Amino acid sequence: MMLKLIKKGQLTVTFPDGETKTYGSTTDPSCEVRLTDEQALRALCLKPELALGESYMDGTLQIAGDDPEALLRVLLRNARNMDIPIWARFYNKLRYAVQAWAKLNTPKHARQNVAHHYDISDDLYRLFLDEDMQYSCAYFTDPDMSLEDAQVAKKAHIAAKLQIEPGMKVLDIGCGWGGMAITLARDYGADVTGVTLSENQLATARRRAEAAGVAGRTDFRLQDYRALNQTFDRIVSVGMLEHVGVPFYGVYFNQISHLLNETGVALIHTIGSLDPAGPQAEWITKYIFPGGYIPSLSQLAPAIERSGLWSLDIEILRLHYAMTLRHWLARFDEKIDIVRQSYDDRFIRMWRFYLIACFMTFEEEKQVVFQLQLGHQRAAVPLTRDYMYQPTGIPLQAQADPTSQAAE
């Protein structure tokens, strides 16, 4: 299997019996690994995607320099051109069919899935996120900008697309720890309703809104978006569509259509794939995001069309999330001694593998971020994209303080 797979770069493997073999013909990229367990070797042959992460977590796959990036880069660059056997293609199609319908994110299951990932501990996320706790793709107008500045730029870019004005009623679906909602209320004068299924995030968002002085302009709720029944001038949803699931895309966009008033604008920010629809990575599903799924445009477009909404703009952010994830990994590694006070080595390897595997998919595969701008009317926003980049709609905070970062 390895002889067929490794054509670019070089992979050196030391097997459990002590034998060492080198695969590939060139040394860039390259990696050396050691397998210490026969069972791990069998698992890698039968379910390589799942077993790769599990064997690294368990320590039965040891990577030189403890560098999963090097191993994944070799594997992903070769996987692109791999002649996939017929049985493997059939297995992938079967996995996709099963996953699509097994991930029935009913309100009950959706809450359980969210709790699995987001109710671990806010303290863990504070170690590697920016000060505003934005757990989604930042927007790097300059590759050298800080994570904090890139997250501020992301929120400003989204606000510009939404054309937020004081007094507007805004819905934030999947509001996280409240950063976007607080920004729109404090800096743009909006009245924001934020819904989440995470009790940890809800409590933190409410505390932060109180501290920011916008508790009266924000309404954070522990509520499923499907239970809402009112209209809004604007709807924003950042990093939530990945948790909806294929069977519920129609429900999701129909609900946005129902909740958005006639002249309103919605902005949906989601990880997406430029490949045809396929199964979700097994390891990510099992250990990180149960119920999660990365959509292709070909899956989203029919649901949007049936909802009756206009697609006003679709922007594709390419390497922005890779840069975001690299910032998160660097911060996580810097705080590793603090992490060890609460988590064991297996959890740490799992979390590092998660962050590294994610930025590798943005750097080596066709994974991107979609920003979908939707509305009921074709003229809901200006006819050219110039308004997104004009110095208009300056946040209220910047108007009050000309020395602020937003004003700059």
Is 219 in contact with 193 (CB distance < 8 Å)?
Answer: yes
Are residue 366 and residue 246 in the same domain, yes or no? Answer: yes
Is residue 100 situated within a structural domain?
no
What's the pLDDT at 80?
74
Q: What is the DSSP letter of 287?
A: H
Which tokens in the block code for residue 278?
């396929």
CB-side exposure of 282: number of CA atoms within 13 Å?
Answer: 16
What's the pLDDT at 402?
39
What's the pLDDT at 109?
55
Are residue 49 and residue 124 in the same domain, yes or no? Answer: no
Is residue 322 situated within a structural domain?
yes
What's the pLDDT at 392?
47
Angle at 286 between CA 5 and CA 343, to 5 degrees: 105
In terms of pLDDT, which residue wins out, 83 or 68? 68
First-to-last CA distance in the chain? Answer: 56
pLDDT at 408 over 60: no
**Residue 358 annotated among the catalytic residues of the structure:** yes
The candidate with the shortest Cα–Cα distance to 284, out of 251, 243, 250, is 243
When divided into structural domains, the chain yields a total of 2
Q: Averaged over 143-148, what is the pLDDT?
A: 96
Q: What is the DSSP letter of 357?
A: H
Are residue 172 and residue 275 in the same domain, yes or no? Answer: yes
Is residue 101 situated within a structural domain?
no
What's the pLDDT at 5?
85
| 127 φ, ψ (degrees, to nearest 5) | -70, -30
What's the pLDDT at 46?
87
Is residue 212 situated within a structural domain?
yes
Is 94 in contact with 386 (CB distance < 8 Å)?
Answer: no
| Sequence-distant (≥ 6) Cβ neighbours of residue 384 within 8 angstroms | none
Tell me the C-alpha distance between 3 and 23, whole Å.
6
Q: Averaged over 252-262, what is the pLDDT?
A: 98
Could you say which of 83, 99, 115 is where a domain stops?
83
Q: Averaged over 293-300, what is the pLDDT?
A: 95
Kindly indicate the confidence band of residue 297, based on its pLDDT and cuts at 50, 70 and 90.
Answer: very high
Are residue 170 and residue 74 in the same domain, yes or no? Answer: no
Tell me the C-alpha distance between 129 and 134, whole Å.
7
pLDDT at 326 over 50: yes
- Note the pLDDT tens digit of each residue in 195-245: 999 999 999 999 999 999 999 999 999 999 999 999 999 999 999 999 998
Are residue 283 and residue 382 in the same domain, yes or no? Answer: yes
Are residue 240 and residue 328 in the same domain, yes or no? Answer: yes
Are residue 33 and residue 156 in the same domain, yes or no? Answer: no
Tell me the C-alpha distance between 120 and 128, whole Å.
14
Tell me the C-alpha distance between 129 and 325, whole Å.
10
Are residue 69 and residue 191 in the same domain, yes or no? Answer: no
The candidate with the shortest Cα–Cα distance to 173, out of 152, 193, 200, 157, is 193
In terms of pLDDT, which residue wins out, 115 or 236? 236
- Note the pLDDT tens digit of each residue in 169-205: 999 999 999 999 999 999 999 999 999 999 999 999 9
Are residue 128 and residue 71 in the same domain, yes or no? Answer: no
Is 355 in contact with 328 (CB distance < 8 Å)?
Answer: yes
Are residue 113 and residue 60 in the same domain, yes or no? Answer: no
Is residue 203 situated within a structural domain?
yes
What's the pLDDT at 308?
96
Tell me the C-alpha distance between 233 and 92, whole Å.
42
| Sequence-distant (≥ 6) Cβ neighbours of residue 345 within 8 angstroms | 59
Mean of all residue pLDDT scores within the chain: 89
CATH of the domain at 223: 3.40.50.150
User: How many other β-carbons are positioned within 10 Å of the β-carbon of residue 349?
Assistant: 18
pLDDT at 110 over 80: no
Could you say which of 83, 98, 115 is where a domain stops?
83
Is 40 in contact with 51 (CB distance < 8 Å)?
Answer: yes
Could you say which of 48, 83, 118 is where a domain stops?
83
Active-site entry in 31, 137, 175, 358:
358
Tell me the C-alpha distance between 207 and 129, whole Å.
18
Percent of the chain beyond pLDDT 70?
86
Is residue 90 situated within a structural domain?
no
Is residue 408 situated within a structural domain?
no
For residue 339, what are the domain limits?
107-400
Is 222 in contact with 196 (CB distance < 8 Å)?
Answer: yes
| Sequence-distant (≥ 6) Cβ neighbours of residue 33 within 8 angstroms | 11, 12, 13, 14, 61, 62, 63, 64, 71
Q: Averaged over 125-135, what is the pLDDT?
A: 96
Are residue 134 and residue 39 in the same domain, yes or no? Answer: no
Is residue 352 situated within a structural domain?
yes
User: How many other β-carbons are positioned within 10 Å of the β-carbon of residue 379?
Assistant: 10
- 3-class secondary structure, 118: helix
Are residue 40 and residue 115 in the same domain, yes or no? Answer: no
Q: Averaged over 378-403, what is the pLDDT?
A: 71
What's the pLDDT at 407?
32
4 class by beta-carbon count within 10 Å (0-12 exposed, 13-18 middle, 19+ buried):
exposed
